Amino acid sequence: MSVSKTLLIGLKSDQFRHPLDLQATQALRQIPGMDLVVRSLLGSVAEQFFYVQNIASSVLVGEQQLPHLHKLLIEACQILDLEPPQLYVRQHPVPNAYTFAMRGKQPFIVLHTSLIELLMPEEIQAVIAHELGHLKCEHSVYLTLANLLVLAAGQLAPIGTVIAQSLQNQLLQWVRCAEFTCDRAALLVAQDPRVVASVLMKLSGGSPSLAPQLNLDAFLAQARSYEQMSNDEVGKMLRELQTAQLTHPVPVLRAKEIDRWASSQDYQSLLQRRPMLYNGKADSKGGWRNW
């Protein structure tokens, strides 16, 4: 890499997990047997399904296949102290990325081609790091259940629909909180909040031709305006109605949240207590792995 970055050896997920994610996760863990059922009954089937789908219809990234993307993945994994998952590139017109790892055997990340075309290399790495955040925090169990409930809700009897809707709302609330945590993982790898905010800006209103013309400072000012709008009761109500059925917080709120965490002592302490890397190699006294 052309700039020095901090390598977070021994990093634990709870060191960067967003408080809302922690609170929502603890609430889900109180539901008896849910984690065991999803892992035991659905994990192996889902893993095999996605593995076959990826191998058949996507390009597996490696040292000999799109090596620049492979390098971004390996660097991000070393910063977050995480074993590299498989990385696939899939042809798709909608910019997106996603991950899956139910039983830890074949975790993977998928990047859409339109996303790669939209972003700069450091921004692509931030997206990869966001997805790695899901793996680091073991989010996949609840993500899988949320998707299943969305699909099954219409097939249930009325009382089952009510129960499923209640659980779905709880899961969607957790998913939105989990995204804040994964944005933090992106920042820990990018180590520049403007890189993460730029990704959110381009996903909100960018295209390969428009992206170079976008103004990040104006977008951050837009984020502040959104937050100020939500201060009164009407604004709060509109905000809750807008986000209730979303799987992600709105981009401007995510940009504001990551900008705030970048200035926090928690974030600064994570970086300052680790040795620095120079041009991809650790200080010889640190004994860390080479890039």
The catalytic residues are 131
Q: Find the angle CA(83)-CA(87)-CA(89) to the nearest 5 degrees.
A: 170
Residues 6+ apart with CB under 8 A from 253: 223, 226, 227
Q: How far is CA 181 from CA 20, 46, 64, 90, 284, in A?
A: 9, 24, 32, 25, 32
- SS3 of residue 251 by DSSP: helix
Q: Residue 111's beta-bridge partner residues?
A: 89, 97
- Taking each helix axis from N to C terminus, what angle separates 251-262 and 193-205, rounded to the nearest 10 degrees? 180
81: phi then psi, degrees, rounded to nearest 5 = 55, 60
> Which helix (H) or strand (E) segment is 90 a member of?
strand 86-90
269: phi then psi, degrees, rounded to nearest 5 = -70, -30
Distance CA 227, CA 151 (A): 33
Burial of residue 150 (number of CB atoms within 10 Å: 0-12, 13-18, 19+): middle
187: phi then psi, degrees, rounded to nearest 5 = -65, -40
User: CA gyration radius for the chain?
Assistant: 19
> What are 71's two structure tokens?
């390098």
